[in-house]
Structure 1
């Protein structure tokens, strides 16, 4: 029995790469992101998706709704386990400002050990994300399901499946509106595709 997980990063918001959106406000998709979400939904149309789970952030919800609109799934299920990393005091700051912070630089060097101020470590994130995937594999059996989340959250799942430390996150990319496919069964788990961009 194998469950197939399509790990989807939300499509782009207007300021991707400029500031750390994190859990700040309710950042929606920008115009380019809405186009990405449409291409993504076209790519996933007819794929036999049986369930869609998403982070509570607006950008993930909008991406998930675009996928649901072309599938047989009537409801997007929201789960905190797929939420963005809790960056605490760093949320909403520009990367120029963050790059001046020695704590931020250390966090990026050793994410498995360093906690965001008032937030999480990457091991916290990995624990909740991997726990969700394991629970959903039991619930959904041989179905194909979509999980719409955020780059760092998806990276923690990929690192876990590949047996890599959470500190291996810079070794691969998870682009906006990309799909990474994980198969999980009683035999274990494996990555089928990584960062497939449409």
Structure 2
């Protein structure tokens, strides 16, 4: 069994604001091109299934993979959803940088929480519970199209890292991170493979 954690391709305002769960954030022309190159790469993996977060940008990325791999439409799974950033959702980063709670979130993710939203522990718990359910069900080769912080939470869980390690590795748009079940749980087989 192999699980491919795929970050969605870029939307047009990536880095400009905290998209989070803002409705209507879709892939632009550059992101669609990234998704197509990613899909060509994922054809090599002989996927059996594709799942996606409910956000438009993840579904669009996952649909590109499904078309290329000759698979049905991706299943939308709430456990793969973006972090619920609560009151921060949709704010630009200049505004967020002036907020002491935002600075704490980025410096101390192990103890910080988003306002009226989730902690990294919440994100990790829901995502890993879903992955363990897939393993138990024996899903052979599945791509999970999700978000950078969700993948970081999973990787921290697999490696036993503190959430404060989140900034020590990157999860680029349209990248692939691979995990696999082993007798001791889950093993990281590859991190942040960028194909565009």
Shorter-chain-normalised TM-score: which range? over 0.9
For residues 53-110 of structure 1, what are the alpha-carbon distances to aligned partners after superposition, in whole Å with 9 as ceiling and x for unaligned? 1000000000000000011421311111000000001010011110000010011111
**1:75 aligned partner:** 73
Is this contact kept in 2: 1:137–1:185, CA < 8 A?
no
How do 1:26-41 and structure 2 match up within 5 A? Answer: 26-41=24-39
**1:173 aligned partner:** 170
**1:18 aligned partner:** 16
**1:52 aligned partner:** 50
Runs of at least 5 residues in structure 2 that lack an aligned partner in the other structure: none
**2:6 aligned partner:** 8
How do 1:104-123 and structure 2 match up within 5 A? Answer: 104-123=102-121
User: In 1, distance between residues paired with 2:193 and 2:98?
Assistant: 33
User: In 2, distance between residues paired with 1:74 and 1:148?
Assistant: 15
Q: Does 1:147 align with 2:106?
A: no
Counterpart of 1:158 (choices 146, 155, 158) is 155
Is this contact kept in 2: 1:54–1:78, CA < 8 A?
yes
Aligned-pair Cα RMSD in Å: 1.0
- The runs of at least 4 aligned residues of structure 1 exceeding 2 Å deviation read 185-188
CA-CA distance at 1:114 after TM superposition = 1.6
For residues 17-39 of structure 1, what are the alpha-carbon distances to aligned partners after superposition, in whole Å with 9 as ceiling and x for unaligned? 11000001220001110000000
Aligned length: 195
TM-score normalised per structure 2: 0.96
Q: Does the residue aligned with 1:61 lie in a helix, a strand or coil?
A: helix
User: In 1, distance between residues paired with 2:138 and 2:62?
Assistant: 18
User: In 2, distance between residues paired with 1:31 and 1:97?
Assistant: 27
User: In 1, distance between residues paired with 2:138 and 2:10?
Assistant: 29
User: In 1, distance between residues paired with 2:182 and 2:189?
Assistant: 13
TM-score normalised per structure 1: 0.96
CA-CA distance at 1:188 after TM superposition = 2.4
